[in-house]
Amino acid sequence: MADIRVGRLDDIADGGHKVYATSGREVGVFRVGTKLYAWENHCPHAGGPICQGKIFGQIGEELTPDKRSLGLFYTGQKHIVCPWHGFEFNVETGRHPGDEGTRLKGFPVDVRDGDVWLRLPG
């Protein structure tokens, strides 16, 4: 494992992200409040550039026991939507909402003195 400085925290707006190319990989760093999440820019569906997708609020639907809709609502979770075929992944967990086994590959990320550091396999 190697710690690699990729940029400044100030360069990533709250709710935004940046994609860095380093050590032969592309990694998207997503900022949610004071937390950062780092995901490989490789969609598990077919290899698309997932970290370059748009971010949307997840929409839920409340149903009656006989499956009639009582309306749609925002869950408060944010999803990255893959620009190739539209698969969605939770920004914070990297998981696909409908398939627990389909997820993004993540890396440890932290901030030291305002710099963003990734820990990547060597």
Position among 27, 29, 82, 109 found at the interface with ligand FES (CB under 6 A): 82
Size of the site for ligand FES (CB under 6 A): 11
In terms of Cβ atoms closer than 10 Å to its own Cβ (0-12, 13-18, 19+), residue 89 is buried
Q: Which is nearer to ligand FES, 31 or 42 (CB)?
A: 42
Q: Does 48 bind ligand FES (CB under 6 A)?
A: yes
Q: Does 5 bind ligand FES (CB under 6 A)?
A: no
Phi, psi of 102 (to 5 degrees): -105, 115
Phi, psi of 50 (to 5 degrees): -55, -35
Binding residues vs ligand FES (CB under 6 A): 43, 45-48, 50, 82, 84-87
